[in-house]
Structures are given as structure tokens and as C-alpha cells.
Amino acid sequence: MSPALLRFEVLFDWTRKDEDLFSFQQASMYPTFACTFNDHTIYRIIDHQLVHAHRISIAQLWRACGLTVTEGLFLFDLRRTDYETDFAISFFPFRDVWVTVPVARMIAQKLAVEDKLTHFLDPALDKVFSHYSLERGDLIHNWKVDSIPDAVYSTRAIVDAPFYRATLLPNNRKVRTQIARTAQPGVVMRDRMEDGLILWQVTAYEEFVKSQDKQNASDILQENTDDQATLYEAIWDAFQGILCDVKNIDRPDVDLKQARVLSDSIMLGNMPLRREYLAQTSSLLQVYTSTIAAKIAQELAHKNLQTSPPPTIPVTRTESSDIDILSPGKAGVLLHERMDVLEHMLQKTAVENMDRSKDIDELNAQIATIKQQIHEIGFHNTQAGGWRVLEVLIVLIIAFFGYYYKLYTM
């Protein structure tokens, strides 16, 4: 199994523009490296203004391995200090279980997928960073992709070209590329449903861990009435039945009602959970319901991938010509790409002009030296210097014509 290629993508919530224009204008964009594993995209935040060390969206890796967030948290016994969900930023565009790179490497090793993520978790990337400049509206990078020529280097070029590694620029050099604050290829975010599932599972897990700590301290179990126990068991049966139906819904030869198999126990990571346990604490009920909701969402997403055709990109054309009508978002992206190309051309022209100026200065210095030599010869060697003066004049004439030839041919 060959390692997954890297891609450059940016986390940004472009929908805030319609809801709160001020917060949209102040919102940042968060550069990441991304790789796809089992049809799920895993992200590595490389924005050193957001975090000092890179963070990995480990919930995406769990999903790629068939685990829910709850199962992953229980399986690897993570605590609140081991991860972030939104970095205390309102409307963070991609809530997840963000862990450090060493923790992600440990999890990948235990799941036996570290070979597939060799490039993505490479320690050589630890010093690489990119960040968004709100003042100039562009991205600043201390790395580049060697396979992309400088003349066409742009944000879109990086997004469109998967790569194995990013090369750190020497001597603290930086590269700037333009980007539009619109929905476009390479700009990603979670929707409210996906955010809700992540926060629900994480919050339920944290509340359960807190309740277990309190229970261990007091050794007193929470007492529930018979009605509450019956309600919790009914919730268990209802969710188990819905999950079973979702798994079999695309099988026309199966009777959903007869195919329902309701289990009285499941495994959440490394923790066994039985039907009668739900009555012990309400926090455990939240853990169960959030996990089953996530499993249902995963089944629906999996079936959607199996049945949906590959996406097509519609092209809008005028009736009288073949000119594409670009949306404002596409027009902005193309404008920034042209600005990147223009900036590289200007830099190249400036370097060439500096080289020409150096050549002209060198020629002027040579002529000044020859003039000084003529003066010294005429002053000190007035006798028998005719032939020497003639030789110098010939050299001067040759240098003069060479100077103007080189000047006009550049």
C-alpha cells in the first residue's frame, strides 16, 4: 500500500457572510495539509498563529477506520487536555478531535495504518507553516512545492497539484499567494449537522468521564426509578432498530421488520455497554445516543458514496458565443491566480534589470581605469610613448564599441 499523497487545503466558513457580515470579515482562514484515506479526508493544521505545533483531525482517521468519535475516545482513553475541538474560536469552520502529531502517530500505529500516512505524519513537516494575512488578504508560506514552476506558482496551483513532500525555504524566506474568501476548490468546512455530531459525542464523553470520577470518589450509584429504567431501555431498542433498518434499507430482497436483530450489548472502543447499564447514569445515555446517531450518519454517508454518480461541473454559456460566464467566486479566484503570476513576472524582471545594471557599472569602471592609465602615460612617459599611447587608444576604441554593443543588445 503506497502512502497517500498530500494536498493543500484551507479551512474557512464562507457561509457566515450571509449571517453576520462583520464576523465574516474578521474571520481567519486556516491552512492545512490534507490526505485521503478510505474515502475520508484527514487534515493537518499548519497555521502557527493558531497553534504552536501542528494538529491532526483524528476523528477523520477514526471514521476512515470505521470508528465513531465516542469509540475512538474510549479506545485510546483520551482526556480533555489531549485534544481540542474548536480552539475556543466561535464558528470554527471544522470542529473535530484535534490532537498533536505525536498522539496521531501513536493512534495510527495502533490502528496499523501508519504506512499509509507516512508522508502525512512525516516529522520533516513539523517546521513547515502557512498563515492567512487578514491585512493583505493573502497566504504566507515558508515552504513550497518543487514540482510547480515559479512562473505559475499560486494558491490554485498548490491546491490542484498533490505532492509527496513540502520543501522548507532557506534563510527564513517566505512565499505569498493570493486567495479569495469564497467557496472554491481547496476551501472546506463542516456543516451544522456534522458539527453537531462531533460536539454531541465529545460533550457526552466528557460528561461521562466526569460522572465516573465523581462516582469513584463517593462510591454511590445514581438511583433511578423503574419508569426511568423502562424509558432508557426503550431508547436503546428504538435506536438499535433504526440502525439495523438503515443498514438494510438498500436491500430490496430483505424484509426490514424481520431482519431486525436488536443486540443487548455493544462495544464502545474498549468499553462494553449493556442495555441495562443506561439506567445507571444519564451521562451514559448521552454517550449511547450520540454514538448510535453517528453510526447512522456513517451508514447513510457510505450508502451515498456507493449510489451517487461522479459529480459533473456544469458550464454556463451565452447563446451567442462560447465565452464562459464566471460566477463572482470563480472570477475572484482567477483574478488572484493572475496576480500571483504577475508578481512572479515582476520579480523575475527586477532580477534581470539588476543584472544589467551590474554589467553597465562594470563597463563604466573599465573605461574609467583605461582613462586613468592614459593620463598616467601622458604625464610620466612623454618620451618614446607614442607607440604605447597608440596601443592604449586602440584598446579604448575596442572597449567603447564593445560597451555600446552590449548595452543595446540587452
pLDDT of residue 314: 39
Average pLDDT, the chain: 82
pLDDT of residue 170: 94
Alpha helices in 45-162 (DSSP H): 58-64, 69-75, 101-110, 155-160
pLDDT of residue 219: 53
Q: What are the backbone dihedrals phi and psi of residue 258, each rounded to the nearest 5 degrees, phi first?
A: -75, -25
**DSSP secondary structure letters along 62-86:** HHHTT--HHHHHHHTT--GGG-BSS
Burial class (CB in 10 A: 0-12, 13-18, 19+), 26: exposed
Specify whether the CB–CB gap between 127 and 101 falls below 8 A.
no
- 384 has pLDDT over 60: no
Q: What is the mean pLDDT of residues 221-243?
A: 77
- 316 has pLDDT over 60: no
pLDDT of residue 202: 94
- pLDDT, tens only, 70-79: 999 999 999 9
Q: What is the mean pLDDT of residues 339-355?
A: 62
pLDDT: is 377 or 57 the higher one? 57
Distance between CA atoms of 239 and 262, rounded to whole angstroms? 9
Q: What is the mean pLDDT of residues 110-124?
A: 96
Q: What is the mean pLDDT of residues 357-373?
A: 70
- 145 has pLDDT over 90: yes
pLDDT band at 318 (very low <50, low <70, confident <90, very high): very low
Q: What pTM did the predictor assign? A: 0.71
